[in-house]
Each structure stands twice: as C-alpha cells, then as structure tokens.
C-alpha cells in the first residue's frame, strides 16, 4: 500500500499529515509513505526528520497587491502553476500511490488535481473553520472530505456529505495531568497564565503580554509562562529588564514541553490556529484568543468563534488589543473561578480527541489497507 501526502507551508498543514501518516504506520507498518511539499518551507525539514520520503514541488500563491512587486510575484506564481502541475503528475506516475491525501497549503493544489486527473483515490483534511482556496477548489471531486470543524461545510460545494473528524492532537497532551504538571514546573498554588504567539512570534501580542506581565508582576498573585517566538525574545527581555520579575514569571523563546505547560495552566492566551484550538479544547482549558489578521481569508477569526460561540473562550481582535483590554479580560476570567471551571468543562465537551482514529476509519472506506 502506498499513501502520498501533499500539504505544507505552515505547521498547521504539516503536523496533521504527519500525525495521520504515523497512525497509518502504527496500524500497517508495511505501508509506504510519501510526501510532496514545497522545498523552502517547514515540511522540507520536518518530513525527512520523520523518516518519510520527501519530494519538492515549487509553487506559490497569488498576491492581491497591484504593485510592481505584486505583479512580478504573480507572473512567477503563474509560471510555477504550470511547472508544478507537470512535476506533480510526473511524480505521481513514478510513485504510483494508491491514495493521495491533501492537508492544505498551495502545494496540495497541483498534486491533488493531478491525482484526480489520473483517477487516483483522493482525500482532503481541512483543519480550519473557514476552508482554504485549495480545499474549495478540489473538494467537489475528492473521494472523501474530512473536516476538523463542522462550520466549514457551509463554505464548500460537495457531492458527498463530509465527515467531521477533528484535528489530530498530540497524545502526550492528553496523558499529562494538572497536579503532576504543576509539580514538574515547581509551581505553588497561584493561578498560572500560559501565553504564546507562534514559533516566529507575534509583535502586537508580545507587546500586550509584556504590559500584562508588568501589571500583574506588581501583585505577585499569578504565575506566568510566556513564549515570545524567535523574533520577539530579545525585545521582551529588554522591556522587562527593569521590572525585577518574581520567580513565578518565566519568559521563553519557545515552549518545548507544551504538554506540561498546557496541563498546568489555568488560563491560555494565544493565536487561533486550528491545531492550537484543538489542543486547547482537548486539554480542557479556558482561553483568550487573539486571531491573527494576517492569515488567508481571516480564517483564525472563524476558528476562534467555534470556541467563543459555545462559551469556552473569549476573543480579542488584534485591532482592539491594548494594555487595558488584555488586563480587563484576564482579570474578568482568572478572578472568577466558577466561570473558569465552566469554560474548561465546555472546552473539554467540544473537543475531539480521537481524530486519528476517525480519519483512519474514513481512509479505510476509500482504500483497503490490509
């Protein structure tokens, strides 16, 4: 059995593909896994590290800017649209996969389109509440469409009813309990705020969290772990150097022990990427979400609304994010234990923690893995 994945550009498209691949291999060790992605994005590093065969295809999205730079970019994107389709079809003929699974990103477009033209079975997994352009284009002809969030269905034209599977969640997040996590981190009985803005960081969010830390550092009422991302670490350390932070506040560049930090947290503040939200819900955490306005189709806002609507999260749009707003929102939640517990319970009730199994069951309907 040969299964080929296509997706990339961001961890939100790559990690679900790798999680599905790992699950398939755990069930059927002899399955051959292949991956097509862009040569200069994160997948080019993560996929080979997992031991899966990686094949690069150059592709680019189109810019909406009517500038000289934007026009030049679009001319190159148009050229790549042609060459990527040719290369994708060539690779598919060489690999001869039994199934092609698209998890989003521009690169999945030419690959799934070529697979459909060659009559190869195709499946799509859409992580967001508002589906991307690639999913909208290819979903009508896919053998199966899987959605992480049911809200996405209304934006798609489908020939078959989609299957709600959720997003794959790292299993270590589900195994860690709060008491053990707090002991590992050396925390006392003060509430813990956990905040982060992504691996590269988020300037506006980092600035707001910096203001929040300066405010609650004076009270020493809360513990706080914040990850700045690669870009923002030095600036935040410099901004806080005169504050004499108490020992319950920790500034990191990255969070490498998310299972521990998430389990220990009483309140989570972060962006609204699809995988992040799935993990927050699976861990049963109350959250304040600041959707990135810089992503395609403003899809993070749609993602955040799935938790806001059921009462599991509060949303602060970046245009409204400032010192007073972040402090006010945090204070309204962290000082109201009853509300926090209700939000935690609601988040947990709306989590899908068996996404890998659901996705696998859908795939076995398309292909015989035995």
DSSP 115-137: HHHTT-EEEEEE-SSS--HHHHH
Query: What is the overall mean pLDDT for the chain?
Result: 91
Band the pLDDT of 73: cuts 50, 70, 90: very low
pLDDT in tens, 48-63: 999 999 999 887 654 4
Nearest to 6 by CA among 165, 145, 113: 113
Region 19-39: mean pLDDT is 94
pLDDT at 70: 53
pLDDT in tens, 263-275: 999 999 999 999 9
Ramachandran bin of 24, using left for φ above 0, alpha for ψ from -120 to 50, beta for the remaining angles: alpha
Query: Residue 351 pLDDT more than 90?
Result: yes
Start-to-end CA distance of the chain, whole Å, equals 8
The answer to whether the CB of 78 falls within 8 A of the CB of 59 is no
In angstroms, the CA 362 to CA 92 distance is 22
In angstroms, the CA 296 to CA 104 distance is 12
Count the Cβ atoms, other than its own, within 10 Å of residue 174. 14
| CA neighbours closer than 13 Å in the CB half-sphere of residue 103 | 28
Band the pLDDT of 11: cuts 50, 70, 90: confident
Query: Residue 201 pLDDT more than 70?
Result: no
- Spatial strand order of the sheet with 192-196 comes to 249-252, 223-227, 192-196, 267-270, 287-289, 313-315
Domains of the chain as residue ranges with CATH: 2-168+353-366 (3.40.50.2000), 172-349 (3.40.50.2000)
269 or 157, which is more confident: 269
β-strand partners of 121: 99
Q: Strand pairing of 192-196 and 2-6? A: unpaired
pLDDT in tens, 109-142: 999 999 999 999 999 999 999 998 889 999 999 9
Query: Residue 66 pLDDT more than 80?
Result: no
User: Contacts by 317-321 with C-beta closer than 8 Å and gap 24+?
Assistant: 317/290, 317/291, 317/293, 318/204, 318/205, 318/290, 318/291, 318/292, 318/293, 319/293, 321/204, 321/205, 321/208, 321/290
Query: Residue 8 pLDDT more than 80?
Result: yes
DSSP 270-308: E---HHHHHHHHHTT--EEE---TTSGGGHHHHHHHHHH
Region 30-37: mean pLDDT is 96
Region 309-331: mean pLDDT is 96
pLDDT in tens, 222-249: 999 999 988 889 999 999 999 899 999 9
Q: What angle do CA 137, 169, 176 make, to 5 degrees?
A: 170
Query: Residue 77 pLDDT more than 80?
Result: no
The answer to whether the CB of 150 falls within 8 A of the CB of 130 is no
């Amino acid at each position: 059995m040969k299964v080929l994945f296509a997706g990339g550009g961001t961890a939100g498209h790559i990690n679900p593909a790798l999680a599905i691949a790992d699950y398939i291999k755990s069930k059927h060790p002899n399955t051959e896994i292949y991956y097509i992605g862009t040569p200069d994005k994160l997948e080019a590093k993560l996929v080979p590290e997992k031991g899966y065969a990686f094949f690069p295809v150059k592709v680019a999205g189109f810019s909406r800017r009517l500038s000289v730079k934007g026009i030049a970019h679009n001319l190159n994107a148009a050229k790549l649209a042609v060459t990527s389709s040719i290369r994708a079809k060539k690779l598919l003929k060489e690999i001869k996969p039994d199934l092609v699974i698209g998890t989003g990103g521009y690169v999945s477009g030419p690959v799934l389109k070529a697979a459909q033209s060659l009559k190869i079975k195709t499946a799509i997994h859409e992580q967001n509440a508002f589906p991307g352009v690639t999913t909208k284009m290819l979903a009508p002809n896919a053998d199966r469409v899987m959605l992480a969030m049911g809200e996405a269905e209304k934006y798609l034209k489908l020939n078959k009813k989609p299957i709600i599977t959720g997003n794959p969640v790292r299993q270590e997040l589900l195994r860690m309990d709060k008491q053990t996590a707090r002991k590992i981190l050396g925390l006392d009985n003060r509430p813990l705020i956990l905040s982060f803005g992504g691996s590269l960081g988020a300037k506006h969010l980092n600035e707001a969290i910096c203001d929040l830390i300066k405010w609650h550092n004076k009270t020493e009422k809360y513990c706080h772990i914040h990850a700045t991302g690669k870009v923002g670490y030095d600036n935040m350390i410099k901004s806080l150097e005169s504050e004499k932070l108490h020992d319950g506040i920790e500034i990191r560049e990255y969070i490498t022990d998310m299972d521990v930090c998430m389990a220990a947290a009483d309140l989570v503040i972060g962006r609204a990427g699809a995988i992040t939200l799935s993990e927050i819900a699976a861990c049963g955490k109350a959250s304040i979400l600041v959707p990135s306005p810089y992503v395609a189709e403003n899809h993070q806002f749609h993602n955040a609304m799935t938790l806001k609507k059921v009462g599991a999260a509060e949303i602060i749009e970046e245009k409204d994010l400032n010192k007073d707003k972040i402090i006010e929102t945090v204070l309204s939640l962290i000082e109201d234990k009853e509300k926090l517990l209700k939000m935690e319970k609601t988040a947990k009730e709306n989590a899908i923690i068996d996404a890998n199994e659901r996705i696998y069951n859908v795939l076995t309907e398309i292909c015989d893995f035995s």
